[in-house]
Chains A and B, each alone.
Chain A
């Protein structure tokens, strides 16, 4: 579009303040990380001399880093499909006329808007070995006092964290997919019914393609959130026991703010940004966000 010079001046003056702030948090950190990651700053010494790729080479040998990345991937790979499938199932349940639907929906919104740290705190109340309701219900079912250490026992921490995570974000999927399902063209469904298509066929041939754009965006948003998973894990296990549930975000936090490995953390942060940028670029190409 051709703009007159006065319109161009006007439009540039509108974007300038925002761009300035975005550069501050978007580009400054990147440049700064790049500089620091080539230095040798740690808690004990303020070594700003050029260290070459030393920090980046350390990345490859850091078992704990790759473990944390693996944990992040595990959380994402389990939570995301479950949230999607459960959310879709719930949306299907609520799509037809149901008495009291607005009330149900209003209540189901609540977990989504709670702060993740509060959600984590809530579930640590739920999981409490002695005073929590979960163990109480299990005791009641097994008919005897049961003490399960949900957030401590290695084979239970993952289910525990995943339960909290799924509890908070399944309603997100549900709300988006419910909206998408209600927007499906009813006359197409009626035409399919007249043509004699069964439920599965209708679902896969008509409903799924119709809601796919929304589904793709929901998946993208949730995948990116899961990749930066921090709060819920922090509230429930702080990455423990040991480093068993440490995500990449928690790892970077521990390195940067508890062990003060400044330069190394910069390298880690850079790696996260690069890794994510690649994923996001690939994803954005497939998802129609820009109208």
Chain B
């Protein structure tokens, strides 16, 4: 059964239409990540679910009950805020106990619950401290503890890690995911960071300009994006887009870039895409879709092409090599020692089974 069901939700700020008709169903126990660029309406959507904003149109149901007209306190939700939202004049213990006390939990029940939540987050030694005495990571743990201690139906996270430095963020990501596995609660997590979305989500809901662009499991979105926007949003470094055209060459179908490079599609894909022959397309190729030529076997769909590297960015294990393909700069993710200096000419193997082709007019990914 759906734990959260949103139907045709609209939200305006003044005359600005922020959420433009969202339909969403989230099954119980799922970890859903709402992701998108700033201003896409993801935070507004979350705040509307929480009841901090009123929906202008549409319905929100939590556990089968319509909650549009309920104040936040009656929606059976817990929420973690971006800037921690801890009360500076209360100790960590009091902060965590705040929600229990506000709901008139019997005094005897509060202490063990707080202790358990604190142990779970490894902050049980900090309970007597005040927020100003804690580090950023500890503050975030307390903020999460405050939500966890409540046995809520729905847990909402509003960009909880965006104030932490990179290393802490990686660490907390894992912890929140583990927390979800341990508690088995329905969680909705808002972020602008596609890596957070990919690593944490059971399901990603990608928002763009107030609408759902695509939703599904992380790898599903990554490997089979529905639109150019989704293809470009997920993945780092981002997917390369090369303007090209689809040309029939006998039985085969060839992607021809503006500089005349021809990359042939494997026969299976050529069949399904035959209808697009003769039309302009955008070739979407991820950095890992290219590899150093010598290693590859002569599998179907592997196309070799020699390029001139003009920029190298070694990261240690991998090296990002930039070259030009039909006017467009393209980044390929290679092994560390595949290429030694800019200007080098190397042969790359393009995996044409995995690249995507996009219709430049509709920006939709061409199926097949």
Contacts and interface: CB of A to CB of B under 8 A. Distances in A.
B101 to A, nearest CB: 22
Nearest to B71: A6
B54 A2 contact: yes
Among B54, B56, B69, B71, max chain A CB count under 10 A is at B54
Contact of B56 (A2, A3, A6): A2
Nearest to A2: B54
Interface in A1-34: 1-4, 6
Contacts of A3: 54
Interface in B60-75: 69, 71
A7 to B, nearest CB: 8
Contacts of A6: 71
Interface in B1-57: 12-14, 54, 56
Contacts of A1: 13-14
Given A2-B54, A4-B69, 6 more contacts: A1-B13, A2-B56, A3-B54, A4-B54, A4-B71, A6-B71
A203 to B, nearest CB: 39
Interface in B130-180: none
Contacts of A4: 54, 69, 71
Nearest to B69: A4
Contacts of B12: 2
Contacts, number: 10
A3 B54 CA distance: 7
A2 B10 CA distance: 13
4 interchain residue pairs of minimum CB distance: A4-B54, A2-B54, A6-B71, A2-B56
B327 to A, nearest CB: 41
Interface string B69-108: 1010000000000000000000000000000000000000
B13 to A, nearest CB: 8
A4 B71 CA distance: 9
A6 B13 CA distance: 19
A50 to B, nearest CB: 48
Interface string A211-255: 000000000000000000000000000000000000000000000
Interface of B: 12-14, 54, 56, 69, 71
Contacts of B54: 2-4
B186 to A, nearest CB: 25
Nearest to B11: A2
Nearest to A6: B71
Interface string A92-119: 0000000000000000000000000000
Contacts of B13: 1
A2 B15 CA distance: 11
A250 B130 CA distance: 56
10 contacts: A1-B13, A1-B14, A2-B12, A2-B54, A2-B56, A3-B54, A4-B54, A4-B69, A4-B71, A6-B71
B47 to A, nearest CB: 13
A6 B54 CA distance: 11
Contacts of B56: 2
A3 B71 CA distance: 12
A231 B283 CA distance: 82
A2 B55 CA distance: 9
Contacts of B69: 4
A11 to B, nearest CB: 14
A133 B69 CA distance: 74
Nearest to A3: B54
A1 B15 CA distance: 10
Most chain B CB atoms below 10 A, which of A1, A2, A3: A2
Interface string A148-188: 00000000000000000000000000000000000000000
A2 B14 CA distance: 8
A3 B69 CA distance: 12
A1 B12 CA distance: 9
B79 to A, nearest CB: 18
B292 to A, nearest CB: 49
Nearest to B56: A2
B75 to A, nearest CB: 13
Contacts of B14: 1
Nearest to A4: B54
Contacts of A2: 12, 54, 56
Nearest to B14: A1
Nearest to B12: A2
A11 B54 CA distance: 16
A66 B71 CA distance: 60
A38 to B, nearest CB: 44
B70 to A, nearest CB: 10
A1 B14 CA distance: 6
Nearest to B51: A4
A1 B54 CA distance: 10
Interface string A112-138: 000000000000000000000000000
A6 B56 CA distance: 15
A3 B53 CA distance: 8
Contacts of B71: 4, 6
A3 to B, nearest CB: 8
A2 B11 CA distance: 10
Nearest to A5: B69
